[in-house]
Amino acid sequence: MAVPMHTSNRLFLPARDTRMLLIKWVVALIVPLAVFNFVWQGDALINNVILGFINPASAPVTDGQLVEAVIFIAIFYLTLLALAGYLVAADSGRRGVLEVWIDILIFTVVPILLIVATSNNLILGLALCGIVWPIYFILRRRIPFLSFLNPKSVPPPEGLRLIDSEQRAIMIGRARAGGFWFGTSFAVIWLFVDLIFFLSGQLPTELLVVTAIRTVLLPLGGYFLGQLGGMLAVRRTLAANGNGNGNHASEESSLRSRRQKERQILATSRASEETRAVVPNDLPLRSTGARNFFLILLVAFVVFYPVIDPFLFGSGTAGRLSGYNDAGYYVILALGLNIVVGFAGLLDLGYVAFFAIGAYAWGIVGSTQLGFISPIHIPFNALSGLFWPMLLVTALIAAGWGVLLGAPTLRLRGDYLAIVTLGFGEIVPVVFLNLDTLTNGTNGIVGVHSPAFFGVFWSQITPIPYYYLILALIGLTIFANIRLRDSRLGRAWIAMREDEIAAASSGVNLVRTKLFAFGTGAFFSGLAGAYYSAKLGGVSPETFGFGDSVIYLAMVVIGGIGSIPGVIVGALTVYSINLFILNSLDTLASDPTNFLHSFDQFIVNIVPGFTFGNIRNLVFGIILIVIMIFRPAGLIPSARRRRELTRAPEGEAALELGSLDVTTTDPGFEAEVRIE
């Protein structure tokens, strides 16, 4: 273990090994932060916000938005200071300095630089990362010179010893030093940059005050926040007397002592996966403790995005937000389908049906259509407020249809289930198309009302409220997914997916469990449907087709079946490819100064009529094939799936690859038997 016994905790002249540790992590964090600040206008963000306070007339945003921007900045830098403390405390000493620096470079600095290089296009920059990173992975595996960069296969953690209070104090001391020196170094660098700008006349004098304050605050904040980070790290150590891993002691002392015993046994067991949760560990960047810091940063970024977007990306906020709003409902659809396909293992090829049901449900109620088909006339101003309860009602209607359409499939397996769901996926939109009296047929429904919130009426041209609505809905969906996955019902789903007969023989009621899966999956697509028709202001049956069901399935599979972060990334990836990236490439290519232009011209000579947008389906298909060959578990596989696809159990036949297939290791008759 890397915590030596005789380190003193001097702050200003740290001992030699602490010094190495500090250099390792402070540099590792400073470089990306410096790139963010000085290359990508992170400091411009702050300066503009401050100028906005000082001189309100010149600011492009309102006072309220300025305050929000300040909150974001505070969260951002404070989290980084605490993270510095955590990383220093959590370091296990096994990964070398160079490895960590190169890792940080590739995974943090490269994206920022790519975003800057693509003229501040966030999506395009990230998409290019999706090309650069696999290249890096391949290179570091193939080139012997770079082989030291590969994560080492971790031997069972014999070295994972229990920590006593003296070592804990050392860890916290280190964390304090880490935070302090990180804050200090960054303050110094920033001071330096500001002075240069000031001397060259580009920095308004008012901001010098801010510079001074900041130079004092950063080291101070680093000291205390580093200590906080260290304490968080210490909570995740295995302690002889505590109960480690931050578990709360329950009332029963027998339970506590049992848990304590488990933790001690865990320290010497072969469960190497758990080393990612326990400190110190080998992968501090990927540890579950550090992950919380990254989540805070990500959530802060996403929540405050509409406010900081004008500062970071310039004009065009509304357009970008509109694009993200569209991507948002794809995420909800992917998460909903993940329940059906990922958790319960029911191959659903007709998921678009429930999306259509949700969209039409609000479409009918939220417009004049309801007045046409029934004696109920709702006054217009009430319609907008009605959206909120209708959101729940629509989802429940879709869930009900999920149960109804799932019922005929209960005895079917695998492929047959897929065909029936495919059938429903075709039937429902056609029904909507032809039920003229109810749904206005091919003309669709127009004039669907947007929701209102506390008297403020939304419309299609203000994307910000929709952005927060979809964020809230996504948050709800993620929360529900996680809760369900770790519950009795979630276990029943996964058991049913693994082995229906064993699940039934363990008490799982197959009928109810399957219906719950369909119903829950349809619930979320109903949510997405209501949002969709409200945002679009209308519904038309042509938008729902089999191709869409396939796209939703592709999102889930590419992202990682059964993995919640995976399908989110999968949804965003598929959406970006299909609707975003290639069009952006077209825009870039039409600019004669861009190198893409000549490339484009060259191809047009060979294949007239070529645009990047045209080859969208070709590119999508190629990406699907490539991912399925090289990474069949998906972009962010769930832990189970990765295991399923990369190892065969000793002494038994290897599992079949698709969780969508019935496993052929079922003995004899039992596999063929229907359960009545």
Applying CB under 8 A, the residues found at the interface with other proteins are 250, 255, 258, 262, 265-266, 269-271, 273-274, 480, 483-484, 487-492, 494-495, 498-499, 501-510, 516, 520, 640-641, 643-644, 647, 649, 651, 655, 665, 667, 669-670, 673, 675-676
Report in angstroms how near the CB of residue 36 gets to other proteins at its nearest.
38
Report in angstroms how near the CB of residue 341 gets to other proteins at its nearest.
15
Report in angstroms how near the CB of residue 489 gets to other proteins at its nearest.
5
Nearest to 364 by CA among 431, 435, 438: 438
CA 412, 414, 415, 419 torsion-angle sign:
positive
Residue 549 or 638 having the CB closest to other proteins: 638
Residue 160 or 655 having the CB closest to other proteins: 655
Map 616-628 to HEC letters. Answer: HHHHHHHHHHHHH
Which stretches of 347-450 are DSSP H helices? 352-365, 369-373, 380-406, 414-434, 436-439
Report in angstroms how near the CB of residue 650 gets to other proteins at its nearest.
8
Report in angstroms how near the CB of residue 170 gets to other proteins at its nearest.
29
Residue 200 DSSP label: T
Cα angle for residues 495, 497, 501 (degrees, 5° grid): 70
Residue 668 DSSP label: T
Report in angstroms how near the CB of residue 391 gets to other proteins at its nearest.
16
Residue 236 or 320 having the CB closest to other proteins: 236
* Angle, helices 546-559/352-365, rounded to nearest 10 degrees: 120
Report in angstroms how near the CB of residue 392 gets to other proteins at its nearest.
13
- How far apart, in Å, are the Cα atoms of 353 and each of 13, 439, 522? 66, 15, 9
Residue 508 or 572 having the CB closest to other proteins: 508
Report in angstroms how near the CB of residue 525 gets to other proteins at its nearest.
17
Residue 335 or 495 having the CB closest to other proteins: 495
Pairing type for strands 456-457 and 452-453 reads antiparallel
CA 634, 639, 642, 645 torsion-angle sign:
negative
Residue 223 or 516 having the CB closest to other proteins: 516
Residue 172 or 332 having the CB closest to other proteins: 332
Residue 16 or 674 having the CB closest to other proteins: 674
Neighbours of 305 (CB within 10 A): 20
Residue 74 or 255 having the CB closest to other proteins: 255
Neighbours of 499 (CB within 10 A): 17
Report in angstroms how near the CB of residue 660 gets to other proteins at its nearest.
14
Report in angstroms how near the CB of residue 292 gets to other proteins at its nearest.
20
- How far apart, in Å, are the Cα atoms of 352 and each of 147, 199, 551? 46, 61, 10
Neighbours of 412 (CB within 10 A): 16
Place of tokens 């260290």: 230
Nearest to 627 by CA among 582, 551, 550, 570: 570
C-alpha to C-alpha distance for 106 and 113, rounded to whole angstroms: 10
Residue 336 or 363 having the CB closest to other proteins: 336
Terminal-residue alpha carbon distance, the chain:
57
Residue 373 or 482 having the CB closest to other proteins: 482
Nearest to 585 by CA among 576, 593, 596: 596
Report in angstroms how near the CB of residue 520 gets to other proteins at its nearest.
7
C-alpha to C-alpha distance for 599 and 609, rounded to whole angstroms: 14
